[in-house]
Structure 1
């Protein structure tokens, strides 16, 4: 909400009325017409197309490990903006941009991204696809399992 971006922010997630009301009371997000809660998308092909056509993907997970949605986004979205935690950095490396929870950090990153030209955005997209191909392809994972089982 603090960024100067004119782009819409579509949030694809499970939401319920109680959750939305809590957010509204804290953030007053409904006053910002750019913010759109679109619900959950279960159709994998539709979700893939949304990611492919998105201006950027935001990944805010801060606990866990290698998240499937992050891998899918790196494989299909040109620009990925990830919460700066260890496992997100391990997965995204130089193929993504990172934000933290400090006041204004995400808004500043969004504004910086809005200043990028198409070539810069494309370079991040190419790095992301290469990261997926070099570290998370089914071929590579299968080979690692094969080596582990044959020990």
Structure 2
């Protein structure tokens, strides 16, 4: 069901960024440009990273930036970025990051539901491996479906 969130305009391949903040802003701006969130939510994701550190690097090479559900989320949503060059987030165990799923939940229930759906995908090693090489939207849809 992730494909209902990850529409074409919310998926980018071979993105370029050099810092965690740039990565988070890039992923957040995809949601912002589609009207899914407000600018304040992008800022909150970056602030969460600064306050809480690399906890968003949830598995080897995978980050899931997000902030608390808030009034700055217009619609629950997810964006995906595959980085051309991996970025270090200061995660001793899981750096560097190559795959990014940014989440925006309107409330705790929707936030946790999206995390659960992503967890189902990301606990499949074969699918995770394919995500590191995917370079077009049609193949991406096949992986996440």
With normalisation by structure 1, the TM-score equals 0.28
Report the structure number with the largest CA radius of gyration.
1
Higher relative contact order (CA 8 A, sep 6+): 2
With normalisation by structure 2, the TM-score equals 0.29
Structure that is richer in helix per residue:
1
Structure that is richer in strand per residue:
2
